[in-house]
Structures are given as C-alpha cells and as structure tokens.
Structure 1
C-alpha cells in the first residue's frame, strides 16, 4: 500500500522560497544518521529529578542524560513499554524502540530534512471521527492509551506523526535533557492530571484560555516542577523576546500531509502554534454541535464515510478539494461519519513556514520537511549556515498519541558545521 497525495507535489514545488526541488535531491549523496528513539513511559521532568530515578543527582547538576544512557535506548524502551512504575497502562504489542534515519541538506534558502522509519503496523493516516448516532454527532475512535480504547469500547484510530524539537542554545537545560525539559506531571496521560475546571481556574491557564496542561518550559514557572505556579504574561513575553522558547515542528499524516505541510509551533508556557493560520482546524461548530464541513459527494463519491471504510482509502477533508459546507438537512443516517478536522492549503503567517510530504511504502514512512533559513519571526528559531543546534526527535505511530510516542536523547545539528548530524550543502 502506498499513501501519498498528488497535489502535495504542487505545494512543495511552488513559491519563491523554494530553491531546490526536494524530489530531485540525490539523497544517496547525503549521509544517513540513525537515531534510536525509545518508549519513555511517564518519565517526566519531575521524575528524572526525583528520588526514584537513579540518575537524579546527575540530572540536577545539569548533566546530559546521554552520559548514563548512551547506547541503551533500545534496552530501556523494551523494558519500559512492558509496564511497571513508569507505565501503569501498557499497550499490548507496543514496540519499545524505533530506528529513525535522518538526512539533512541545505542551500542558500532552505534546510531539507529527510526521515525514514518502519511503522509498527499499517500507516496511521486516520484521525478520530464525528459519528452521527441518529440524534447527535459524537467522537468515534481514539488513541490506544485511551481507557475506552483499551477496554474495547472505541476502535484505535490515530494519525502517525514525526516531531522535531530544536533550540539554538538559549533555553537552559535543553542541550542536556531535551524533551524531558518540556514534559511534566499534570499533562495528559501523566501523573497528577487535574480536571478541566481546576486547570481553567489557574491564573496563568485562565489568562491563556486553556483548560488542560500541555508541554511547558521550567523557566515559565516560579517552581519549575509545579505547573500551577505560572509566571505573569509580562514575564513570559520577556522570555519569548529573548529567544527562550523551543521550536516544535510536526508532520502529521492526517492533519498536515494532505496539503504538503508540517505545522510550526513552539514550547514556552504551553505548547503553542505559531502566529497566523495553520493548515488544519476543528470541524465542529461549537454553537450547533454539528460539523462545519462534509464531503462533496461529486468529488469524493459520498457525503460521509462509515466505520467499515476506515483505513481502506484516504479520508482527508480538504477545503478547495473535496469539502463543502455541512448541510444539516442532507438526510444523515446513524453511522455516518465525518473527519474531526478539516485541512487547508490557505495558511498565513509563521504558522505556514514548513513544507513537508510523507510517503508510506512497504511499511516505511519517508518524510521530507523543508524549513526556510533565516526566519525572523519571534516564534521561530532561525537556522543559518554555520550554525549548530540542539535537536530532539519523536515518532508517534501505531494509533497512539501523548506519551505513547518514541523519543530521542538530544543530538546536535550542524548546518555546514561539525555536529552529530551534519547537513550537506547542495550544489
């Protein structure tokens, strides 16, 4: 089975920012770095500094995780994924590690990242749906860590993702602990999760209008280990202005791949999207509690899909391609389903910086991401020739999200400079 979309080619080869055509890059001449990603369970920022972590003393003196764990990623992942203190709800059959092949090239305008990894099953190109039960539209499907999925009350449905986290040396501790700096107790599927009402009542969370805890950097809290101790918006704005954020780029098999993009975000006081209009949005009208868009039957073949069709064809709902405004009088039947998100190529601002395409063949995803050099946005880290950056990777596959991913320890990336992963200059 081959998963790709024809109009991605247009998105990737159009526009003045494109210097090289990524489809014509001779990747056989670009060195391959293989990075082993492992299953981390609930090993949060708080846990790695706590008494039950044997290496807590090393971590709290700002030493790198890799000092103790170099070459042990696969063994750690295989152990953690089976269950124990760091994994109270193990997912049956989940793999403990993933080998990610990374290649990087650059020219005068862009950096080109090529990733390859073998999936643990079929390509995850679906996202949970809204299903009509005869009266209401309700969520259908979910990631494998969800209780309803583990109990067999909902099917396992979730998109594959490739994530790249990047810093230029301005975030204290990221070079040593990487993504563990951003992952905290209180977040989804982590210890200490609070009810939405309690989170929404917190002063900082109320100010940013959030009702759940996501990734955040320790510098945004007066007590780095306590998400409730948020600093003021003025203090956080100063951190951002000083470059104290971590760039977060995500290629998503369902919500960005159909339009040839990868979303652009950053971690600071929360896991934020960059400014502007991103390539996907909710397909639920909060007022009517009905979908906003449905499939154009003339182009898609039907107004909706049903459960038996999940995974058997591409069910991407895309503005300007196969989406039309939802008609509540279209004769909806019990079991009709529509995607929870609608995608668009009409992006704006720094949210639309990254182009990307993914192709799944013979059990392997190949993803190419294009990132412009020299971005001057206040929510981006600017890549430039001669620069060295700290970078971490994550892969979500096998219908899973949140902490169910596989993650890497920190690597260095050099754009024409010596590093663990060195970008090749294109001629």
Structure 2
C-alpha cells in the first residue's frame, strides 16, 4: 500500500504548524518511548443500546443501570471485554446481522502527553485487514448517471453482495468533564439508542419528519443523543424543547466527540470536532470535508486534476492500490461533464480541504501512519478552548473518556468500544486516573 505521498504531506502540514503558534511541540518528534502506555480493551457491542441495558433482557442488571451503577461493577473480571466481544460479534439476540469474519476484540494502546498549549493523545491498534482502511465511498458513472459506490459492511446491499464493502477506518474519543450525568459510569452507552441507524426500531423518515424537536434542529434521522435531551430517556421521540436543550448545552451537559478519519481527515493532518447532545453534531464553523455530489444534477462537484496526478478518475480495480483522496487545494479541479466519461469511472464522494475548515470545527490536528498492520494516530487538542461546543482541557483536569475504533469497512454500531476510563492532565501523584498525561519539557 503506497502511503508515502500523503504521509509526507501530513508530516509537512504538522511541521509547518509546529513552527508557528498552533503547536508548542512537534508531535512527530515527541519521544513516546518515555510516555507510559495503557492498554485499553475494546469490544464489539452489537445492538446493546441504552434501552437494552435498562431492560430485563440485560441479565437482571436493569435495576443497577437505572440507579447509575458503573458497567465495570459487573463486568470486572479478567478478559471481560474480550469475552463479551467474541460472544456479541456472532449471531445472537444482540447481533441479527453478523459480519462474516469480523473480529470481536481490539487492543488499543493509549499514551497521553501535554505542554502549555496542547494535549497529545497517541493511539495504536492492529487493523483487521492487511491494508489501511483509507478508502471511502465513491461516485461511479454507470454510463448514464452518477451513483454512490461502496457501502459499510452492515448495510443490506453489502451483505447481499450487491455492493462492495468500502468505508474508512476511524479513531474516536468521547470526552466528558463531569457535567454529563452517569457518563463517568456508563460512558458511551448513554449515547446509543434504539431508533438510530443499524439499531432496533429504526426511525422511519415519516416519524422523524413528524418529530417537533428533530424538525426544529433540521435533522432528518436519529443519531447519537444523551438521555437528558428527552422527557423519556428511553424514547427518542420525546425530545425536549429547543430552549431546554440550549440550556443543557450552555451548562456543559454535552459530550465532546473527536474523530480521526482515515479518509476524510487523515490526509489533511486533522481530526474533526463535534459533540453529542440532542444529536451527533459538528462544532460551529466548517468541517474539513464535505459532500462531492451536486444535489441538483447528482454529478460530482470536483474531479481529479489530470495535469497534476495523471488521471481524472479511477476505476474499481484501482482500489487499495494508491492514495485516492480528493483535496480541493492539492489535486482537484471543478467537474467537467464533457470530459469523456465512461462506465465505471469513479471519483470520491467527499471533497477535502484544510483551507476551507473554519471555526470550532477545525480545532483539532492529527498525524497518523500505518505500518506492519498497525495504525498510529496522534490527536492534538488545544488546551483552554472556550467555545460553547467544546470541553476545556486544562492542566490538573481529570476527564471521563470513552474510546472507539471503526475497522474493516464498517460504521455505526459495527465499531469496537471501551468501557469508560479517566484521563488526567498532570495534577501530581495524588491524582487518580487510568491514563495520566505526561508534561513535556
């Protein structure tokens, strides 16, 4: 797998940032061998939604969940996560559509450091495939029109063999500063609900269109949300008013969501920034990626610049044989409908741009590499952010964190997740945390 060009591009971006005020340390030059490593087990959760945790089907543990007991108060035995993952990844009551060959467990290595300006979170994990998941869905010309090509492995069209499984690898961090009730004990399960994509009782378009809260926020489906945003925490339809939810946000009652994406942010040296409250939201401003399909014509907005890369499109037989990112300021030109398109021509369904990324959505940087079957990702998060959609990281702070990895061309619940952990930025020997960030000199 040729990653040389893009990898060097990412390192160049971060080196340029390091020379300015954005970074106090060059993350590529941190001596990580001197930073403690914590192994965090991740497991496949299936459809273990918040509603399921509260049900009698949860092996009699519903009462404990309702009173706010920690997940690990029951799942505290050695290899609990591995045992859970290997069980839930197979066909069972919590996995109605198992993915053939899917692994149930991932060991995530976590390291943390910080300086006067940033926190640096380093993650390493082995990928299920012998190649990095840097491909994402494409727009393919069928001889008449452009259609999406490639879907996540949980989608029916992939399981039926009608579409190939194509989706990017991802590394996700959920972060809470203690203001979200029960997140410290039950972590990301507070955000996972029936009604969401690939979950039980999937919300229909008509149900969503009839929902006052989702309509007010201009949402067209159900995504991750926190129980506090519903009058009935187990019913996505029972949304509170816009005023009530805005009050929750102003009080800090949201979870920060940082996602590194192997297709949509990796080549830009970034990780996107969002938060979970009434929905899985992007931060204010503009993300470093956007859709490449014209809503009116359904044709691409951009294509490859043949003068720079030697081609205007790729075909399916070129997948996983090169770097196929489409970056507006690097290798893209406006789409030409008269460029002699043939059946099978493909361009990425997402256009990337570091220059266009703006506001709070563009806070996070990242560098990454894939070698010998393992991703190494370093997220760079500024300290002291004061945006109303960010959690403020500061020296001495202790935070509740949950980690997730999307691997093997999959999304939604097909990830591997951790039970909640704690992260401390310094604070001395008396501070207790699962992961302690080392102060850089």
Q: Which of 375, 398, 414 matches 1:404?
A: 414
- Aligned-partner SS, 1:321: helix
Distance 1:87 1:393 in 2: 21
- Aligned-partner SS, 1:305: coil
Indicate conservation of the 8 Å contact 2:2/2:323, yes or no: no
Q: Which of 202, 212, 218 matches 2:211?
A: 202
Aligned residue number for residue 117 of structure 1? 125
TM-score by length of 2: 0.96
Indicate conservation of the 8 Å contact 1:103/1:114, yes or no: yes
Indicate conservation of the 8 Å contact 1:167/1:391, yes or no: yes
Are positions 1:99 and 2:107 aligned together?
yes
TM-score by length of 1: 0.99
Indicate conservation of the 8 Å contact 1:91/1:145, yes or no: yes
Aligned residue number for residue 53 of structure 1? 58
Distance 1:154 1:289 in 2: 19
Cα 1:2–1:65, aligned 2, differ >3 Å: closer, same or farther? farther
Are positions 1:425 and 2:433 aligned together?
no
Deviations 1:240-269 (A, max 9, x none): 000000000000000000100000000000
Indicate conservation of the 8 Å contact 1:197/1:211, yes or no: no
Indicate conservation of the 8 Å contact 2:140/2:149, yes or no: yes
Distance 1:289 1:203 in 2: 30
Deviations 1:189-213 (A, max 9, x none): 0000022232122111111111111
Distance 2:178 2:23 in 1: 27
1:290 deviation in Å? 1.0
Superposed, 1:64-103 pairs within 5 Å as: 64-70=70-76, 71=78, 72-103=80-111
Q: Which of 331, 334, 338 matches 1:325?
A: 334
Distance 1:112 1:210 in 2: 33
Indicate conservation of the 8 Å contact 1:390/1:410, yes or no: yes
Indicate conservation of the 8 Å contact 2:230/2:240, yes or no: yes
1:83 deviation in Å? 1.4
Deviations 1:287-336 (A, max 9, x none): 12111000001112111010000111110000110011011111111110
Aligned residue number for residue 134 of structure 1? 143
Distance 1:98 1:117 in 2: 7
Distance 1:272 1:198 in 2: 20
Q: Which of 9, 23, 35 matches 2:28?
A: 23
Deviations 1:70-95 (A, max 9, x none): 23000000000011000000001100
Stretches of 4+ aligned residues off by more than 3 angstroms: 1-4
Q: Which of 208, 225, 230 matches 1:221?
A: 230
1:127 deviation in Å? 0.4
- Aligned-partner SS, 1:229: coil
In structure 1, stretches of 5+ residues that fail to align are none
Deviations 1:9-38 (A, max 9, x none): 232231412100011100000000000000
